[in-house]
Chain A
């Protein structure tokens, strides 16, 4: 099974995981973006709609399984880790314990996102951005070279023989890499949307997550 795919990026070799996580083997760094923990709580608080409140557990379980199989030295959460700062309070005790357990024995970095612009009560570093070697990690792409970011929840929609296949995707061009959303209750923005078509340079590639990790030229609008 192609449940991961290696690709070159600005001189480093990175791995796109089927789960939507990014693995930098050389530096033992695991990157996940847009977890949106506590989203159902925020929606209930703000709109009254009460969605199945299991997405935080689902997202954390998926994260735990990546951490267990890769044993990273560093985990970077690339922003919008919490759906808002108040959503942190809604985490159950077992959610909190799981996060604490995952953090132990490794460096943990919370990059600030637009949903969670301040520090949260969890341990780990709270940073606006972070550079490791040649690579820079921040929530929203600025156009700087060798930048890895999240925020857009990129996805690719293909229609193949009358069937629509929609997958969250990594987007990569010569200078930047966009990481898909890792959270369970996260939709996606099609690469054909002007926001993404305009952002990504010529020759941009999409790497689709899912059962088979697949690379193809990024569809544009």
Chain B
């Protein structure tokens, strides 16, 4: 096939002058430049971004024009800034007259205003800023003639509501500019077709270009003298070996699955860092100043290692990383591969990585992950249908831009892949919700947010509402966090953020870790946690919200397949013997059966269910099973869940397992349990904010007293009582089931095992169950009810204050 587009001479010359050859996939992108949608999958360091921009540069080099030509969207503000720098340089060297600007939350109001009147050729932005742009009345003028949109790190965006927001905004822009061409840039993924569908205007096709993935990574499990512990996630045992590896490499990234683990590991690493190797820490809860400093040090090569979390997963160029260490089981092979790709940005050189299991079971998981990487067997769970809370927000955004026609808007939304199968009644429910609240009690006829005009178009009742809607655009959940600052005269240096719930557990003098330092809690002042550096106690660890990833379905299945082997020569002896012993005294779980062990321990009956459905689903399973056991009169006391098993302790042993596991029993338990559950309330809050029911940001001139705001839990309880079928309750349920509740994976598990449920009654703890007894995060069944906790606290407070004059009758009942 002959190239559709020739590269203009001064671009070709620039490559030659640099002594660079154009990569084949960059050439392919030029050939495909006129296609409506193209997805490029390329490894890190493969000149992916240049591949995305080359067609734009070529078009702008040959045709003089004004106005916007290309939009570039990335998930990170920092990435937009980074690209601006990296793109302006070659453009100048090529002698091209192309204006490149970024627009993010950090851009000044003056520049933002100017950009709307006089847009640059290339605008680099984020999904939220782009959605905001589509909400202005003058959007059609600003976007007029835009030719291309490049979506970077689309694999990351496609997994979140930010991506859904982006695609709905893009649908709006495409409606203004039918000729807009879409390009997605992705890291290696398991299902390129799914991302292509996410990217393309439905039902248009989308090309998928695969760049040469480069050589396989050099990836191994770290071997240590000391065996990993039976449980826990700290991997403290591995610190000498990790330091050793850091010494042998130029720059090492040390990835952790959670921020708390990163903090703890960093702390322990420094305690052992005799040579004072420069090692930094980076995660999303640290202050921007802290992060910027570490990033700067990284770029100029003055750090030997960074302890980090997913905040470094995305593609900012970190220079000379030659080793990636993953602490703790990777949980997900795809993410592991993407992280490994961060090492060695030289094209066509293998990336080098080490896996460090944090405990004995993770040894098995790491080996399974290694084999999956070798077999190029990536994993991922499809995201399912587009979330309707985001849809509601976009109905409001559309109304901000001007009157709209419901039929046209519905048609426009269904061009986004995730919303392709949105039904008209579902859309109408959302529109009704945005217009009138959608309540069974018609209360807002007078104060509707959207009104239908005589000509059938919808518009805002009060145009001033647009400002408030714009202020609340976005889907990122800021959990309730408090800023942490050093206490001193000048206001204090910001250190980062901790969860409000964690802050509430602190009393003056308590110490915790943040940014690798131990700080002492001094007090709370104007919603800021004040700390000093006086650290005289063992730190509590700051608890960070962050997502706790569940082990993927595919990786879990791979582990179960491993268990089928007669022996495990690939495992270290300690782990190999452990599995052999389990097989001798009980059995190993397998894929198409469900193993349940029942044995006495600690004076309690213990039940272990090896469901291998991932942490969230196993947690839900614990709640449902303990409820079932309560109904059977077995007196469940509490449970704990990991990615592979749930352990429940009770007064009496389980004898009839099968009846607990019918799909019906599960579903009934779910329905009654879910409604009152904290997970539902948290999910409701998120959806209520995204869908515009609750405004998170208010105009600053309308400060309200604290007593004027009330908890979203009250709204949830009210709706649950008076309007349980309300659209927002439906959305909440949809969201909860696929998120934290993860009921889908319980259903998958039930389908997988059918009626093949094996209850093994044993006389003691089995080897595979033993680590569960050390697992943190035990959940008491039915609480140690709140009333009882309150009573205990009251008595404590009364006696410490010497005021025990009030006779309070003990009115609680111990549940078991």
What is the distance, in angstroms, from B777's C-beta to the closest C-beta of chain A? 12
Closest to B694 in A: A49
Per-residue A-contact encoding for B689-733, CB less than 8 Å = 1, 0 else: 000111100000000011111110011001101110010000000
Contact B710–A187 (Cβ < 8 Å): yes
The stretch of B98-106, B111-119, B257-265, B808-816 that contacts the partner chain: B808-816
B460-489 interface with A by 8 A CB criterion: 460-462, 465, 468-469
A183-221 interface with B by 8 A CB criterion: 184-190, 193, 203, 205, 208, 211-212, 214-217
Contact B714–A184 (Cβ < 8 Å): yes
Which chain A residues border B812 with CB–CB below 8 Å? 212
Chain A interface, DSSP helix/strand/loop, else mixed: mixed
Per-residue A-contact encoding for B778-813, CB less than 8 Å = 1, 0 else: 000000001101111110011001010010110110
Would you call A41 an interface residue if the criterion is a C-beta within 8 Å of the partner chain's C-beta atoms?
yes
Once the chains are docked, how many angstroms separate the CA of A212 from the CA of B811?
8
Would you call B17 an interface residue if the criterion is a C-beta within 8 Å of the partner chain's C-beta atoms?
no
Contact A189–B793 (Cβ < 8 Å): no
Once the chains are docked, how many angstroms separate the CA of A53 from the CA of B722?
9
Once the chains are docked, how many angstroms separate the CA of A188 from the CA of B706?
7
Contact B723–A2 (Cβ < 8 Å): no
The stretch of A19-27, A122-130, A131-139, A162-170 that contacts the partner chain: A162-170
The stretch of A54-62, A63-71, A96-104 that contacts the partner chain: A54-62
Known: A47-B468, A53-B441. A184 touches B711 (CB 8 A): no
Once the chains are docked, how many angstroms separate the CA of A55 from the CA of B723?
12
Once the chains are docked, how many angstroms separate the CA of A65 from the CA of B722?
18
Which chain A residues border B437 with CB–CB below 8 Å? 44, 50-53
Contact B504–A211 (Cβ < 8 Å): no
Would you call A106 an interface residue if the criterion is a C-beta within 8 Å of the partner chain's C-beta atoms?
no
Would you call A152 an interface residue if the criterion is a C-beta within 8 Å of the partner chain's C-beta atoms?
yes
Which chain B residues border A53 with CB–CB below 8 Å? 437, 439, 441, 443-444
Contact B705–A214 (Cβ < 8 Å): no
Once the chains are docked, how many angstroms separate the CA of A52 from the CA of B803?
43
Contact A49–B808 (Cβ < 8 Å): no
Per-residue B-contact encoding for A153-189, CB less than 8 Å = 1, 0 else: 1000111111111000000000000000100111111
Contact B692–A52 (Cβ < 8 Å): no
Contact A159–B505 (Cβ < 8 Å): yes
Would you call A105 an interface residue if the criterion is a C-beta within 8 Å of the partner chain's C-beta atoms?
no
Contact B695–A152 (Cβ < 8 Å): no
Would you call B436 an interface residue if the criterion is a C-beta within 8 Å of the partner chain's C-beta atoms?
yes
Would you call B501 an interface residue if the criterion is a C-beta within 8 Å of the partner chain's C-beta atoms?
yes
Q: Which of A54, A57, A153 has the most CB of B within 10 A?
A: A54
What is the distance, in angstroms, from A38's C-beta to the closest C-beta of chain B? 10
Once the chains are docked, how many angstroms separate the CA of A211 from the CA of B693?
29
- For A, the interface residue count at a CB cutoff of 8 angstroms equals 49
Which chain B residues border A188 with CB–CB below 8 Å? 706-707, 710
Contact A52–B719 (Cβ < 8 Å): yes
Which chain B residues border A165 with CB–CB below 8 Å? 786, 789-790, 793
Contact B706–A163 (Cβ < 8 Å): no
Which chain B residues border A189 with CB–CB below 8 Å? 705-707
Which chain B residues border A185 with CB–CB below 8 Å? 710, 714
Q: Which of B465, B468, B715, B723 has the most CB of A within 10 A?
A: B715
Once the chains are docked, how many angstroms separate the CA of A94 from the CA of B8?
76
Would you call A45 an interface residue if the criterion is a C-beta within 8 Å of the partner chain's C-beta atoms?
yes
Number of A-B pairs, beta carbon distance below 8 Å: 138
B660-695 interface with A by 8 A CB criterion: 692-695
B449 partner, pick from A40, A50, A193, beta carbons under 8 A: A50
Once the chains are docked, how many angstroms separate the CA of A205 from the CA of B790?
16
Q: Which of B443, B714, B723 has the most CB of A within 10 A?
A: B443
Would you call B447 an interface residue if the criterion is a C-beta within 8 Å of the partner chain's C-beta atoms?
yes
B402-446 interface with A by 8 A CB criterion: 436-437, 439, 441, 443-444, 446
Which chain A residues border B803 with CB–CB below 8 Å? 203, 205, 217
Closest to A51 in B: B715
What is the distance, in angstroms, from A77's C-beta to the closest C-beta of chain B? 18
Once the chains are docked, how many angstroms separate the CA of A161 from the CA of B485?
25
Known: A50-B693, A52-B439. A164 touches B501 (CB 8 A): yes
Which chain A residues border B446 with CB–CB below 8 Å? 45
Which chain A residues border B715 with CB–CB below 8 Å? 51-52
Contact B441–A54 (Cβ < 8 Å): yes
- For B, the interface residue count at a CB cutoff of 8 angstroms equals 54
Contact A2–B811 (Cβ < 8 Å): yes
Q: Which of A50, A161, A205 has the most CB of B within 10 A?
A: A50
Contact B794–A54 (Cβ < 8 Å): no
Closest to B783 in A: A163
Once the chains are docked, how many angstroms separate the CA of A188 from the CA of B791?
21
Q: Which of B446, B469, B806 has the most CB of A within 10 A?
A: B806
Contact B711–A55 (Cβ < 8 Å): no
Once the chains are docked, how many angstroms separate the CA of A184 from the CA of B711?
11
Once the chains are docked, how many angstroms separate the CA of A161 from the CA of B719?
30
B447 partner, pick from A45, A58, A205, beta carbons under 8 A: A45
Closest to B698 in A: A47
What is the distance, in angstroms, from A168's C-beta to the closest C-beta of chain B? 10
Which chain B residues border A58 with CB–CB below 8 Å? 718, 721-722
B789 partner, pick from A44, A57, A163, beta carbons under 8 A: A163
B504 partner, pick from A1, A159, A203, beta carbons under 8 A: A159
Which chain A residues border B794 with CB–CB below 8 Å? 214-216
Which chain A residues border B808 with CB–CB below 8 Å? 2, 5, 214-215
Once the chains are docked, how many angstroms separate the CA of A189 from the CA of B789?
22
Q: Which of B447, B461, B504, B505 has the most CB of A within 10 A?
A: B447
What is the distance, in angstroms, from A142's C-beta to the closest C-beta of chain B? 19
Known: A52-B723, A53-B437, A216-B794. A187 touches B709 (CB 8 A): yes
Which chain B residues border A212 with CB–CB below 8 Å? 787, 790-791, 811-812
Once the chains are docked, how many angstroms separate the CA of A208 from the CA of B715?
22
Which chain B residues border A143 with CB–CB below 8 Å? none
A47 partner, pick from B501, B695, B793, beta carbons under 8 A: B695
Closest to B806 in A: A215
What is the distance, in angstroms, from B677's C-beta to the closest C-beta of chain A? 15
Contact B722–A52 (Cβ < 8 Å): yes
Contact A186–B710 (Cβ < 8 Å): yes
Q: Which of A1, A52, A184, A215 has the most CB of B within 10 A?
A: A52
Would you call A11 an interface residue if the criterion is a C-beta within 8 Å of the partner chain's C-beta atoms?
no
What is the distance, in angstroms, from B791's C-beta to the closest C-beta of chain A? 7
A52 partner, pick from B468, B505, B709, B726, beta carbons under 8 A: B726
Closest to B792 in A: A160
Per-residue A-contact encoding for B223-261, CB less than 8 Å = 1, 0 else: 000000000000000000000000000000000000000
Contact A44–B447 (Cβ < 8 Å): yes
Once the chains are docked, how many angstroms separate the CA of A165 from the CA of B801?
20
Contact B718–A184 (Cβ < 8 Å): yes
Once the chains are docked, how many angstroms separate the CA of A210 from the CA of B501?
21
Q: Which of B692, B711, B723, B790 has the most CB of A within 10 A?
A: B790
Closest to B706 in A: A189
What is the distance, in angstroms, from B299's C-beta to the closest C-beta of chain A? 40
Subset of 20 A-B contacts with CB under 8 Å: A1-B811, A2-B808, A41-B443, A48-B447, A49-B692, A52-B723, A53-B437, A53-B443, A54-B721, A58-B718, A58-B722, A157-B504, A158-B793, A164-B501, A187-B706, A189-B706, A212-B791, A216-B794, A217-B798, A217-B801
Additional A-B contacts beyond A1-B811, A50-B437, A162-B501 (7; CB < 8 A): A41-B443, A41-B447, A48-B460, A50-B439, A161-B789, A188-B710, A215-B794
Interface residues of B (CB under 8 A from A): 436-437, 439, 441, 443-444, 446-447, 449, 460-462, 465, 468-469, 501, 504-505, 692-695, 705-711, 714-715, 718-719, 721-723, 726, 786-787, 789-794, 797-798, 801, 803, 806, 808-809, 811-812
Interface residues of A (CB under 8 A from B): 1-2, 5, 7, 40-41, 44-45, 47-55, 57-58, 90, 152-153, 157-165, 181, 184-190, 193, 203, 205, 208, 211-212, 214-217
* Complex A-B, nearest 7 residue pairs according to Cβ-Cβ distance, in ascending order: A50-B437, A53-B443, A187-B710, A44-B447, A153-B707, A48-B465, A54-B722
